[in-house]
Amino acid sequence: MNTPNTETTLVRKSGTYKVYQDEFNVTDVLAAQSWWQINAHLDIINRYKVKLFIELGTYIGGIVTHIIPNIILDETFHYLGYEINSSVVHPKIKKFALQNPRCQLVLDNMFSESNLEYIRKRIAETSGTVYVFCDGGDKPKELLTFSTFLRKGDIISVHDYTDDQTGEIRDTDLAKIGKDFEYLDEWWRKDVVWLPTFIKVK
């Protein structure tokens, strides 16, 4: 775990949450992420050699646009996205998923019994790192539910955290994750990028 020097002032302060709700737009497909959050996802996928990226809450499909090179060029990389509201997903993303077997979009409730079972199975069968991004309608529940499916070396992050504890996930929720998880790059992913991220260490 890396701890910042107390003199360091890169940590954001409260009251500016909306300022950071950038929408990173690639060919009209918006991502509800800031550019540094997009980079944080790509950094995990590429540096930890992720083989299965699960996005819980695909929305328009903006994150998919940023991992198209991984999906197309890396035959060992798979995307699995869940979106309960089919109408919000951009037609370009739906078409892309239909044409690319390594881009699987499930337009259904991630918490249905069959989807929970399928996600558990896909994680268990993946050879290599799995990265789960919690960005649906109940982040605390997603973090607690899907973290229990992970294996040593797998990674999970959660969106809509703010340092003033007004986001959809708070420090008290993060503290509930299993003791076999540690923060990944704690300082910058959680406090600067506002994307608390954990790696399962045993």
Of 108-116, 118-126, 179-187, 193-201, the segment contacting ligand SAM by CB under 6 A is 108-116
Sheet holding 129-134, edge to edge: 103-106, 78-82, 50-56, 129-134, 155-158, 197-200, 181-183
Question: Residue 12 CB: number of other CB atoms within 10 A?
Answer: 17
- 3-class SS at 44? helix
Question: What's the min distance (Å) between Cβ of 9 and ligand SAM?
Answer: 28
Q: DSSP of 110-126, one letter per residue?
A: TTSHHHHHHHHHHHHH-
Torsion angle of alpha carbons 37, 58, 68, 25, nearest 10°? -60
Q: Give the range of 8-16, 106-114, 149-157, 188-196 binding ligand SAM by CB under 6 A.
A: 106-114
CA distances from 41 to 35, 82, 120 (A): 10, 17, 21
Question: For residues 84 and 192, which CB has a smaller minimum distance to ligand SAM in the complex?
Answer: 84
Nearest residue (CB) to ligand SAM, 128 versus 137: 137
Residue placing its CB nearer to ligand SAM in the complex, 100 or 109: 109
Q: Name which of residues 128 to 157 contact ligand SAM (CB under 6 A).
A: 135-137
Q: Is 103 in the site for ligand SAM (CB under 6 A)?
A: no
* 187: CB partners within 8 A, 6+ apart: 2, 3, 4, 11
Instruction: Examine residue 173 and tell whether it contacts ligand SAM (CB under 6 A).
Output: no
Least separation in angstroms between CB 11 and ligand SAM: 23
Note whether 88 binds ligand SAM by CB under 6 A: yes
Give contact residues for ligand SAM (rule: CB under 6 A).
31-33, 55, 57-60, 62-63, 82-85, 88, 109-111, 135-137
